[in-house]
Structure 1
Amino acid sequence: MTLSSMDDYPVHQVAEVIRHPGTSDRNFYDRYYFNCHGGDPTLPWLIVGFGVYPNLGVTDCFAVLRHGGDHRVFRASRALGAERSDLAVGPFRIEIEQGLERLRLVLDDDNTGMSFDLTFTGISPATLEARHFQRRLDRVFIDTMRFVQTGSWSGSLTVADETFDVTPDIWRGNRDRSWGVRPVGEPEPPGRAVTETHGSFFWIYAVIACRDHSIVVLLQETSTGERVVDQTQRIWHDRDRPAEWLGRAEHTITFRPGTREPASARLVFTRPGGSVTTVECVPQLANFLGFGTGYGLEQDWRHGMWQGELEVQNSHTLVSDLDDTMKLFCPIDHLTEFTVSDGAESERHGAEHARGLFEFAVIGPHEQYGFTDYTDVAD
């Protein structure tokens, strides 16, 4: 049994060294997600992920960047050692400068077509979301916790031969940290599950950065509209104010013809007392984060899959060359303009305009929107 520097902290949860989670489930994971944007769809829209898979012995990362018509991906994987404070894979690393407040992300220039040295500083407090739990047959399929945080970015970002000065007055985004059990690594034999119809997945994850608060919407539904996860929160930037539930959420999506990509969306939150918050969503720029990053579209590179002691890869593709059919099988992260109308507050001050993330997927059948098969698209 091997110790690491983290074992010197009083953070153990089970009678094991810190490198061993409390479950031997192969699908246990622990990961970071970040996005970074300049609020303008002509600027780069960057998404970064880093994951640790203790029971698979792997750690990996990715950076996927949309800039104009370009889709650039950096990805790397290595054997996971004993040291859990080592947040580096090849030329990429994360430095935790102040827990829950400030983190630095670095991708060194190694001919990947992009590099960056960026620091994320929290604007809202890091806030826990609803626990996500599902069974498939009798096995726990998903059991995760996650926190979310909006923030600003500073530093520099280089794409091809162009370097962007990233300043916190303009460059914003959000991050999340999640851990628990969800499918990772090499695909398992489906067994009896191959005869079950559990493949539908409807998902909305919106993080809206307003002036003095952030709105976070987390929805997952079955094909019939039954909610698996349902949470709407207003997170005040003032650390002394607790987060507020905004009420039951309903959604209306208008799709781009011939796709399942949203042209616009309306989210309506209704509290038991009758007060209503309405959010109009207009996506500005799509980042197809499923392509090349490990979310399951490519069978030779999935999160947690063994790639050897160290493997570093990169790719550059035109967005127009991405397979339209494969877009139907993964969430898409949209840089989005939001208009928030919040009852009496909007009557006094008018609706608020904001930007942020609208992550969306409708995979498989969904009754509300008339999709009956996996490859149906909007008229």
Structure 2
Amino acid sequence: MAWCKEKEDANMLTKGDEYPLHQTPEPMALSGGNRNFYDRYFFNGYSPDGNIFFAAALGIYPQLDIMDAAFCVSIDGKQHNLRASKRMSSERLDLTVGPVTVTIIEPLQQLGLTVTGNDSAITAEIRFTARHQPIEEPRFIRRDGPRLLMDYTRMTQNGDWSGTITVDGQDIDIGNCRGTRDRSWGIRQVGASESQPPPAGAFPQFWWLWTPLNFDDHACFFHSNDDGDGLPWNRRGVVDAISGSVTEFEPKTIDLSYHSGSRRIKQVRLATGNGSLSITPRTGNAARSFYMSGLGYLHPVWGHGMDHGDLEVAHDVIFLDPAPAIDMTTIHIQALSDTVLTVNGREHHGIGVVEQLFIGPHATTGLSGLMDPAV
């Protein structure tokens, strides 16, 4: 009997196959069998006085053959959001989506972001330079009954920014800005909604707190994913001295308060093993809350991995409201925060963000219902 080989439907070789990064016998264009696989870049940056806050993201969804990106700038009471999406023809290394491009200058050390001329008010030519080696967060695995909802890894890194962002013709030098970038990859829900959700009909609940913080001599990270009872299913903290020493911590409890009538954090306090951490989001005229919907999170049209055709670019402006209605477009934010890190009795003052997404109950901090505000 003659041996024969089944013919492939199409040539799946791409530029990625030139690099020695394969981890399966498949071409790089293929990434398992789960349609929710994703690979994502995230960036944020902020000036010490909070006058400018910017963020960007680029997501790759190999099974959906979609790549999308966004670049947002919060300034003068307005958040400018530029979003783009393309069908990527399985080419994962072409990190340009419309006007937005991510460039890997030096892996794990320097990355570039370019926003070329477009119909929005913003362009940019900026660079992120890491202040320390990236932190690998614990693997996130979460199921709804038998269905896998999450299985992903994230690395997080604080750094300094350089370059220029232009808003409405005004050139802004961001050389005094610090911020955070992360890379995450794996499985979480992307693209169109599932046609047949799990039959158990679980009550929606997701409590997420993420706090990357910058100090002159330290970088600090803390995150917690909790269930409805307030018990963590993924939690970790890291204090990283820029000189190289690293201290990990996992507090059993979080001393946390909300602003009354909202689901927004008022203050967070926790023990770090060899000291403590206090984080206070800014209020009043100094407040700076960034709506993550600008980057597509929970956005009804520009959700991650949605198909907008061969190439689509759109932009809008959100007028920042210090007390917005609680809904899916405003519930997920990053709040610019002042923070105090105590290490072996010495205080270090810094700045960072409190990312918060609180849907459903959280018994230990008093949240109830789907979106009921804190008392």
TM-score (ref. length: structure 2): 0.91
Give the corresponding residue for 2:7. none
Tell me the CA shift for residue 127 of structure 1. 2.1
Matching residue within 6, 12, 16 for 2:26: 16
Distance 1:289 1:247, change over 3 A: closer
Give the corresponding residue for 1:311. 312
Q: Is the 8 A contact 2:42 2:56 kept in 1?
A: yes
Tell me the CA shift for residue 83 of structure 1. 2.6
**3-state secondary structure, aligned to 1:7:** helix
Matching residue within 187, 195, 209 for 1:189: 195
| Cα RMSD (Å) | 1.9
- Is 2:289 the partner of 1:286? yes
Give the corresponding residue for 1:141. 149
Give the corresponding residue for 1:59. 67
Give the corresponding residue for 2:303. 302
Give the corresponding residue for 2:184. 178
Code of the residue aligned with 1:130 in structure 2: it is: P
Percent identical residues: 27
Tell me the CA shift for residue 295 of structure 1. 1.4
Code of the residue aligned with 1:278 in structure 2: it is: L
List aligned pairs for 1:353-364, cutoff 5 A: 353-364=349-360
Cα distance in 2 for partners of 1:83, 1:219 equals 34
Q: Is the 8 A contact 1:222 1:366 kept in 2?
A: yes
Give the corresponding residue for 2:371. 375
The runs of at least 4 consecutive aligned structure 1 residues that moved more than 6 Å come to none
Cα distance in 1 for partners of 2:240, 2:250 equals 14
Cα distance in 1 for partners of 2:188, 2:198 equals 18
* Of 156-165 and 99-108, the range deviating more from structure 2: 156-165
* Of 315-324 and 67-76, the range deviating more from structure 2: 315-324
Matching residue within 85, 96, 102 for 1:88: 96
- Is 2:154 the partner of 1:151? no
Distance 1:203 1:321, change over 3 A: closer
- Size of the alignment, in residue pairs? 361
Give the corresponding residue for 2:276. 277
Give the corresponding residue for 2:17. 7
Tell me the CA shift for residue 14 of structure 1. 0.4
Give the corresponding residue for 1:213. 218
Tell me the CA shift for residue 94 of structure 1. 0.8
Q: Is the 8 A contact 2:150 2:187 kept in 1?
A: yes
Code of the residue aligned with 1:11 in structure 2: it is: L
TM-score (ref. length: structure 1): 0.90
Q: Is the 8 A contact 2:324 2:330 kept in 1?
A: no
Cα distance in 1 for partners of 2:267, 2:226 equals 19
Tell me the CA shift for residue 210 of structure 1. 1.8
Unpaired runs of 5+ residues, structure 1, are none
Q: Is the 8 A contact 1:246 1:277 kept in 2?
A: no
Give the corresponding residue for 2:5. none
**3-state secondary structure, aligned to 1:248:** coil
Cα distance in 1 for partners of 2:218, 2:247 equals 10
Give the corresponding residue for 2:35. 26
**3-state secondary structure, aligned to 1:192:** coil
Give the corresponding residue for 2:229. 224
Cα offsets for 1:140-165 (capped at 9, x unmatched): 11000110111101000111232111
Q: Is the 8 A contact 1:297 1:330 kept in 2?
A: no
Distance 1:305 1:194, change over 3 A: farther
Q: Is the 8 A contact 2:291 2:330 kept in 1?
A: no
Code of the residue aligned with 1:30 in structure 2: it is: D
Cα distance in 2 for partners of 1:148, 1:279 equals 20
Tell me the CA shift for residue 81 of structure 1. 2.2
Q: Is the 8 A contact 1:257 1:378 kept in 2?
A: yes
Tell me the CA shift for residue 267 of structure 1. 2.5
Tell me the CA shift for residue 193 of structure 1. 4.2
Give the corresponding residue for 2:258. 255
Distance 1:116 1:54, change over 3 A: same
